[in-house]
Structure 1
Amino acid sequence: MASMREFQKKWAQRVFTVDMLFVAVVALVASLIGAWLKQYPVFSLFGALIIALLIGMLVQFPIRRWYVGTADDAAANAKSGASAGAAVAARTSQQRRAGVKDAAGLISNKLLRLGIILLGFKLNLTVLFTQGIKCLPIAALVVTFTIVVTYAIARRLGVDPMLAILVAGGTGICGAAAVMGLSGSIRVPEERETEKADDVTMAVATVAIMGTVFALAEIALGPLTGMSHTQLGITAGASLHEIAHAVAAGAAFGAVDIAAIMKLSRVLMLVFAAVIIAIWWDKRHSQVAGDGRRVVAFPWFMLGFIAASVIGTFVPFVAAITAQLVNVAYIVLGMAMAALGLTVNFKAIVAQGRRVFLASFLASILLMFLAAGIAILFF
């Protein structure tokens, strides 16, 4: 009982703070702006999550200036003996910086899991296992191929394993949501949490840009290939990274339904990929607990994802409000993305940017041709 009270006290001290309230409000506003902007043509290709991430990345500069304060300058003044007030300002600034970082990390971590669970309501299992029954084995093949190939290319180019697998998952499954979902399968020591956050941001940015580039390419070149509308829809759903990309391309081809079904079949693969990658990461990059046991970061929230899919499909009154629940999911995920953006290390992104972009670009080309070949052969 005492340990439970101590646990509750510890979490209360982390959650009920001014910094937590400040970061939560900033993240919520960024998410709502992303949800509003996605309705417009250009922004719809990026999607609400990417817009929220970009807003978070941009607002970290004014936050540092006006909320956190210039800790470095204050510390320098204090060290030179400028004034006692400078020392106080330095301590206050450092505390706020640590508070904002902790709040952003907590929000991005916990809301990510809640958002992924709520996103499960988007998967109508009846549709997937009836109209989309032909798409499921294709999705399994496409996702497996893309993850393996993207990871291999990225590692050959010198990208670190964590970033390589996150980009591979985002490219193969469903963009930003997959990157954030798979990040829950990767357990790292506390001292590497900042590195992990940077890798997640880099992976999200990469798949967002690549998905947009290839969506525009498929929309422009698709009608010139001589493929049927259904084949073009299957190609879009099987190859494009974000759900928004697949829907936009499918709508352009007059095949939005089949494109969405194909894409959601890939989204379902996130459950299996998360578990497999958790086991693989443990074997290749195992973490050791204090008692010497190996610890697998099993993504338990994926069970919530499956439960939400089942409930949304088979419980009538819930099925009637799945659209609203999915909207809430994107708001929650948008907050997680914005909070992630607040902690971005731009130097770390620049350091590996070119190599990981090249890996994703090459893999996306192969994915597009594989998807087109499958569409021509089976549809």
Structure 2
Amino acid sequence: MQLTPVSTLPVRLVARGREVLPGALVCAAIAVVATVIGQAVPLLGSAIPAVVIGVAVACVRRPSARFAPGVGYAGKFVLQCAVVLLGAQLSLASIVRVGAESLPVMLSSLVVCLAAAWGIGRAMRVDRDLRILIGVGTGICGASAIAAVSPVIRARSSDISYAISTVFLFNVIAVVAFPAIGRAFGMTPHAFGLFAGTAVNDTSSVVAAASVFSASALGFAVVVKLVRTLMIIPISVGLAVVEARRGGEGGRRMTPGRALLLVPWFLVGFLVVAAVSSTGVVPPSVVDTLTTVSVFLVATALAGIGLSTDLRAIRTAGIRPLLLGAALSLLVTATTLVAMTLTGSLG
């Protein structure tokens, strides 16, 4: 095996930087606009505007050869970096405390959602990658889960855009419907925090729904939502194993060592950042900054995904993935209510 000389690394890095810079700057510019929109309309956030603007620009003119490398770089590597920084929002102490109460409810809804995504999605003839993305987006944490899983399964930009838009649509519906459901069931603020944190996906939508119900429900809802984010890890590792088997490695025995090698680097980074953040050595101001940066990087990456989107592929997919998203959202809501009733946490 011939190795590339280390001495040429600086030259290659500079050349790579020049190659990706134009397209990456375009994606960052779109992210700035999306961030401004997200600040003006907090419920919307910056992810959806970034995708929509990117798709709109692509409709007018697809990225040329000069911008294509940077657009692809933003949609992949920048996305992975964003996932790493998302770990700054987590505290291991909060995970242990909240997990003891919320884990049975979260696992119940997640298992039902993923099983339904596979079964119902297959019956509806929804593309495999698209039903995986809609399943993890609905069952775990919306755009963040889709962002983490898409590199593992090598999802197409069109599938990512469709999945994010589908999950977001039902998050908006949940913001309106969930406070009414909570009041109809006579939930306490604590119970509603568990309900919203488990059954609503995107953080901004969780915040919006909990705020509408009760200010005292907000804190617990957000912590439950962030604990739910950890489900990204086992799901992504499992998908990595499945992808390895689909790639022709199914005949080899899956040892713990080989399984460890399949863990994507950015998920390891996610856990490392979460562990460091939980020690308390990182000042809250730095955690807030890292969280803000991660949100901006997600917007930058989604702008790249939007610019790379093949609208013809979305039109070909039709309405069936949207109907799948509706079915999964209803199932997650119903399963969460049933699990809360069985565990005595509904009231």
TM-score above 0.5: yes
Aligned to 2:325: 360
Describe the shift of the 1:287–1:234 C-alpha distance in structure 2 as closer, same or farther (beyond 3 A). Answer: same
Contact 1:231–1:376 at 8 Å: present in 2 too?
A: no
Distance in 1, matches of 2:43 and 2:117, equals 22
Residue in structure 2 matched with residue 172 of structure 1 by the alignment: 139
Aligned residues: 333
Q: Deviations over 1:237-293 (max 9, x none)?
A: 11112111111111111111121122112111111111011112333x3257xxxxx
Among residues 293, 296, 311, which one is paired with 1:328 in the alignment?
293
Q: How do 1:181-200 and structure 2 match up within 5 A?
A: 181-187=148-154, 196-200=156-160
Deviation (angstroms), 1:105: 0.9
Shift of 1:130: 1.8
Q: Deviations over 1:154-213 (max 9, x none)?
A: 1110011111111111111111111110112225xxxxxxx7222222211211112222
Map of 1:372 onto structure 2: 337
Contact preservation (8 Å) 1:184, 1:297: no
Residue 60 of structure 1 corresponds to: 58
Which residue in 1 is equivalent to 2:17? 15
2:247 equivalent among 269, 272, 286: 286
Other-structure match for 2:178: 218
Q: Residues of 2 paired with 1:297 and 1:330: CA distance?
A: 26
Q: Flag structure 1 segments of 5+ consecutive residues without an equivalent.
A: 69-96, 188-194, 289-293
The partner residue of 2:209 within 240, 249, 262 is 249
Match of 1:115 among 56, 60, 82: 82
- Give distance in 2, aligned partners of 1:9 and 1:287: 36
Distance 1:148 1:349 in 2: 24
The Cα of 1:375 is off from its aligned counterpart by 2.8
Alignment-mate amino acid for residue 257 of structure 1: G
2:254 alignment partner in structure 1: none
- Compare CA radii of gyration and give the structure with the larger one: 1
1:50 matched residue in structure 2: 48
Q: Per-residue CA shift, 1:93-121, capped at 9, x if unaligned? A: xxxx2332222111110011110000100
Which one-letter code corresponds to 2:82 in the other structure? G
Corresponding residue to 1:130 among 97, 100, 124: 97
Give distance in 2, aligned partners of 1:50 and 1:2: 41
Query: Structure 2 matches for 1:70-85, cutoff 5 A?
Result: none
Cα distance, 1:297 vs structure 2: 5.2
Q: What do you get for the CA RMSD once the two structures are aligned?
A: 2.5
Q: CA offsets, 1:20-78, max 9 Å, x none? A: 333222222222232232234xx3223211221112112224454xxx6xxxxxxxxxx
Structure 2 distance, partners of 1:304, 1:125, is 15
* CA distance in structure 2 between the partners assigned to 1:359 and 1:213 by the alignment: 15
**Kept in 2: contact 1:27–1:339 (CA 8 A):** yes
Deviation at 1:4, TM superposition (A): 4.3
Is the Cα–Cα contact under 8 Å of residues 140 and 266 in structure 1 kept in the other structure? no
Number of the residue aligned with 1:192: none
> Which residue, out of 281, 291, 304, partners 1:339?
304
TM-score calculated relative to the size of structure 2: 0.87
Q: TM-score, length-normalised on structure 1?
A: 0.80
SS at match of 1:233: helix
8 Å contact from structure 2 (residues 24, 73) kept in 1: no
Select the structure with the greater relative contact order (CA < 8 A; seq sep ≥ 6): 2
Please tell me whether the aligned partners of residues 150 and 168 of structure 1 are also in contact (alpha carbons under 8 angstroms).
yes
What residue number does 2:252 align with? none
Mapped to 2, the partners of 1:34 and 1:57 lie a distance apart of 13
Aligned in 2, Cα 1:353/1:209: closer, same or farther, shift over 3 Å?
A: farther
Contact between 1:30 and 1:338, CA under 8 Å: does it hold in 2?
A: yes
Q: Which amino acid aligns with 1:207?
A: V
